[in-house]
Chains A and B, each alone.
Chain A
Amino acid sequence: MASKLPKATLNLKQFLLRQEVLKLYRDIFRTIRKVADENTRLELKEWARSDFKNNKHHSDETTIKSMLYYGRKSLKDLQKSLALSDS
């Protein structure tokens, strides 16, 4: 039986992964907002953007998951250093 869905539809796992990636992107930007220095903020934004864009093309689940892990780790580091610089 032919599927009635358009070809570009993602299956559930892919959809969930995509949502994870977008959520991470959003969290990174929210954290970058808190940075006091304007130049650092712009640099961090450019870094995040280019990293995400360069890895946009992966379709393999494992690769995407390892990228997500790396991204989350970087976010945690950023948050820690922000907390340190604030106190």
Chain B
Amino acid sequence: MAAANLVRSAFNGLLRKSTTYKTPVVCRLSTVALQQKYHTVKAIARTYNIQQLQNGRKRQFATGPVRKITQEEIAERVMKVCKAYDKLVSTQLSLDSHFINDLGLDSLDHVEIIMAMEDEFGFEIPDSDAERLLKPKDIVQYVADKEDIYE
């Protein structure tokens, strides 16, 4: 639908009103200009179709991220944020290391780390959820649930 609208708006006023977009109708512009317009629109439609195929022909309501984020990527980003936190630079941390018990942080540091995660992933984490996220593994799981990743 959106592709058809794109095409329609691109060709607005140039073509005779036609319901199908696959075949450009003869118009007043020179054929060169028409061909250029047609090729750009075709390219847009092609990428849109590829997108649709990748998402399994799911209807897209809003312009969200084009490709789905994977669990490994989430884990990577979580570890990156943890490593960038100044109190954790020298320690060795894994997905299972407990912030308070293993890494020696306190609850204030925990709040800071959760806020850094909020900044990284772009959504707010309420207090009630935040206090349960005590290991990087928990955070990865939480973000994955939020983004609806089923693996």
* Interface residues of A, Cβ cutoff 8 Å to B: 18-19, 22-23, 25-26, 29-30, 33, 49, 52-53, 56
A22, A29, A53, A56: which contacts B127 (Cβ < 8 A)?
Answer: A22
B118 to chain A, nearest CB (A): 9
Tell me the complex Cα distance, A30–B118, Å.
Answer: 10
Most chain A CB within 10 A, of B106, B108, B115, B127, is at B108
| Interface mask (B114-150 → A, CB under 8 Å = 1, otherwise 0) | 0100010000000100110000000000000000000
Instruction: Give the chain B neighbours of A53 by CB distance below 8 A.
Output: 108
Q: How many B residues have CB within 8 A of the partner chain?
A: 10
A18 to chain B, nearest CB (A): 8
Interface of B is mostly: helix
Interface of A is mostly: helix
Tell me the complex Cα distance, A53–B131, Å.
Answer: 19
Instruction: Give the chain A neighbours of B107 by CB distance below 8 A.
Output: 18, 22
Instruction: Give the chain B neighbours of A56 by CB distance below 8 A.
Output: 106, 108
Closest A residue to B107 by CB, please name it.
Answer: A22
A45 to chain B, nearest CB (A): 9
Instruction: Give the chain A neighbours of B115 by CB distance below 8 A.
Output: 26, 29-30
A29 B112 Cβ-Cβ under 8 A: yes
A23 B127 Cβ-Cβ under 8 A: yes
B15 interface residue per 8 A CB criterion = no
Tell me the complex Cα distance, A49–B119, Å.
Answer: 18
Instruction: Give the chain B neighbours of A29 by CB distance below 8 A.
Output: 111-112, 115
